[in-house]
Structure 1
Amino acid sequence: MALAHKVHLSPPACLRRVDRLKRAGLIDATVALLNPQALGAGMLVMIGVVLDRSTPESFSAFEKAAAKISGCMECHVVTGEFDYFMLVRTRDGESFNRLHAEQLLYLPGVRQIRSFIVLKQVLSTTQIPL
């Protein structure tokens, strides 16, 4: 209803257009953006990972394991000093320490993990510039 009002369409016409955009593959999903602090996940950590080998098997094993890390919001293959960057949300420093000791240290094929605790989030958006 809010979207229809915002784009000056009737709700049924708006729904038809949204359905068409979904079928065309332009809309992947409809989501709610939750408040991390309210949910006890206020600490944001960026993690740089270097693998000990650059083989398809080592990348595949790491990616499967990384997808299971508690609080992992994103995982990207990158160029440069690291092979991957992960974005992880956790409650606080103590919970991140536990995550590090119980999960991150056991990721397969990892030579080095460097963690960067976010002090202040300056910009975070889901909007793609059109």
Structure 2
Amino acid sequence: MCAKRSLSRSDADQPGGELDRIDKRILKLLQNDATLSNVALAERVNLSPAACLRRVEKLKRDGVISRVVAHLDPEQLQAGMVVLIGVVLDRSTPESFAAFEEAAQKVSGCMECHVVTGEFDYFMLVRTRDSQSFNRLHAEQLLYLPGVRQIRSFMGLRQVVSTHQVPI
């Protein structure tokens, strides 16, 4: 059995700075399975449980770990259809962007909304049950988003890659 490397208090509590290989290993393991107990995580990164917990808590305090969530199966929750929506605003003013962004946060099934470069101002990722439910969403919500000149929808046919794991 490998000896556990114990960190001094100053190692685990240093503010900011670069992530070391142990922090990166912790993050990779937690991205793959956030239900790992602290003891199991400590064992996998070769630290004492106390030292491992200090590191995880520091990663949380520093905002590197922003939250811990459960990944749900959209198919089982009647949200299997993914639609990418390109949005062009009629004006490029701070006010029109702010109004659109506030309204986009209220769109049913909107999982992501990004300001982008190129021919669109925004891309939204929306999940819905099927094409009929997307058609209702389009008619009842998307058409009423403020400042929109054009909306182009792209329905996903088959998922090739989907991950929430950030490259480390």
Point out the structure with max Rg over C-alpha: 2
The answer (yes or no) to whether the contact 1:36–1:42 under 8 Å persists in 2 is yes
The yes-or-no answer on 1:121 pairing with 2:159 is yes
Which AA in structure 1 matches 2:110? C
- Work out the CA distance in 2 between the residues paired with 1:48 and 1:75: 10
- Residue ranges of structure 2 left out of the alignment (5+ in a row): 1-34
The structure with the greater share of residues assigned to helix is 2
- Work out the CA distance in 2 between the residues paired with 1:75 and 1:32: 20
The answer (yes or no) to whether the contact 1:73–1:86 under 8 Å persists in 2 is yes
Cα deviation per residue 1:39-60 (whole Å; 9 max; x = unaligned)? 1100000000000000000000
Q: CA RMSD in A?
A: 1.5
- Work out the CA distance in 1 between the residues paired with 2:66 and 2:131: 34
The yes-or-no answer on 1:96 pairing with 2:134 is yes
Identity %: 72
Cα deviation per residue 1:85-127 (whole Å; 9 max; x = unaligned)? 0000001111000000000000000000000000011111111
- Work out the CA distance in 1 between the residues paired with 2:117 and 2:36: 41
CA offset at residue 61 of structure 1? Answer: 0.3
- Work out the CA distance in 2 between the residues paired with 1:70 and 1:129: 29
The answer (yes or no) to whether the contact 1:69–1:103 under 8 Å persists in 2 is yes
CA offset at residue 15 of structure 1? Answer: 3.1
- Residue ranges of structure 1 left out of the alignment (5+ in a row): none
- 2:68 paired residue number: 30
The alpha-carbon distance between structure 1 residues 10 and 38, as it changes in their structure 2 partners (threshold 3 A), is farther
Q: Report matched runs for 1:1-130 at 5 Å.
A: 2=36, 4=38, 5-6=40-41, 7-8=44-45, 9=47, 11-130=49-168
